[in-house]
Amino acid sequence: MTDSASTGGRLRRSRWLAVTVVAVLLLAACGDGDDDDASEAAAATTAAASDAGDAADGPAADDGCEPGETDGDLVFYNWADYIDEELLVAFEEESGISIDYSVYESNEQMLTQVESGAAIYDLVVPSDYMVALMISEDLLLPLDFDALPNAANIDDAWDNPPFDPEHRFHVAYQWGTTGIGMTYDVLDSLGGEASWAVIFDPETAATVPGDISMLDDAPEAVSAALKYLGYSITETIESGNEEAIREAGALLKATNDRLLKYDSVTFGDDLVNGEVDVAHGWSGGFAQAFFETDAYETHVYTIPIEGGVRWVDTMAIPHNADNVCSAHAMINFLLDAQNGAALTNYTYYGSPNTAATPYILDEILEDPGIYPPPEVYARLELIPQMGDLGLIVQDMLTEAKS
C-alpha cells in the first residue's frame, strides 16, 4: 500500500482505497475538544487580531465598518474557477450591491495588477507567501476584525502563520496541496508509489505513454524540482541558497523538451480527457476534474514520495481599495458556516472553516488527497516568502520555457 495521498470526489472506488490511507487531518485536530472550546479559542484570536488592527494605520483600522456594511459595488479579483458563482449571486441579493468579478492564473499576475494600479480591486485572494510579500510592500490594508464576526469560525490551526505572524492582513480562504495527477497505468509502472522522477528523470518519464504538463507557476515549478533534488523548500529559501535555486532551474530547463506545456488552469481536464497522462497541479483542480468525468477508476492524484507543497489561499484587501466595507462584508459572508461549506463543496479544496465542517460533503472530508493523512502531511512544505530570490525563481521558469 502506498502512502502517496490520492484524491477522488463524491464516490470512492475500491481500487482507490488500495493505494491510499483515508484520514481527515484537520478534523482530527479540531475533534479533540468540543465545538465550544474551538469557538472560544478562535474568538480569542479574533479579538487579539482586532486589537492589532485597531492600532494600525489605514482606512480599515481608522474608520471601521459594521458587520455587513457596504460602501459601494465590490471589485473582486480571484483565481480562475475558485468560487461557486451562486455564492456571488447570493451575496449580491443579500447586500444589495453588485460584484465586478474577474480572475487571474497566478499570484504574480495578481501582484502585477495591484502594484500597477491599472485596475483597483477591493478584494483579492493571495497565497500564503504572496501575503508576506504584499505586506512587505505595503500593498495590503489591515483587516477590521470587528466587522468580521464569522472569523471566529476559522480553525485555530490557521492562527498567526509565519507569513502574517500577527494575523492582521488576511483570513484563510481554502487550503490544499500540490502534487501529480496521473493515470493508474502510470502509477502501476512506478510500482504503486508516485515520484517526481516521472517528470524529472528522463528514463522514468520515457515510460509515460502520453504527454506531461507542469504548472505555469514559478514558485511551484521550482519547488517541485527542489523536492526531487532532495532539498527542503523552506531551508533553501530561508537560507538564501541561490545555488540550489539555479540547480532546480537547470533541471526545469532540461525537462522542458519533454513537456507538452505549462498550464495552471486546465491541468485536471487535460489529464482526464487524455491530452496528458501526467500533470503537475493542485489537489482540488484534479478532484473537480475527476468528479465531473467520473474518472476515479482510471486517474489518481498523488503526493510524491519526496514530498510536495502545501499552501493556504487567503482573502485580503489591497491598499488602494475603494470599497473597504464591502470587502469586509464579502469576507464575512464567505466565512459563514454554510457559505464556507458551499465554497469547499464547489472547489474540492480543504476548508479552514471549522463551523463549515458539518455541511461539507463526507466524500471531501474523507478524501486523503484533500485532507492528507499525517504521514503524508509531514512531507509537505509551505513556500516561504522569497524576498530577492523571488526574481531568480521567476527567471528560472522563464529561462526553462525559452
pLDDT higher at 11 or 319: 319
The confidence score (pLDDT) of residue 63 equals 62
The confidence score (pLDDT) of residue 387 equals 85
Average pLDDT over residues 295-302: 94
pLDDT tens string 65-94: 999 999 999 999 999 999 999 999 999 999
Residue 159 has pLDDT above 90, yes or no: no
pLDDT tens string 239-263: 999 999 999 999 999 999 999 999 9
Q: How confident is the model at residue 115 (pLDDT cuts 50, 70, 90)?
A: very high
- pLDDT above 90 coverage of the chain, percent: 77
User: Which grid cell is 240?
Assistant: 538564501
Residue 62 has pLDDT above 80, yes or no: no
The confidence score (pLDDT) of residue 385 equals 84
Mean residue pLDDT across the chain: 86
User: Which grid cell is 297?
Assistant: 477508476
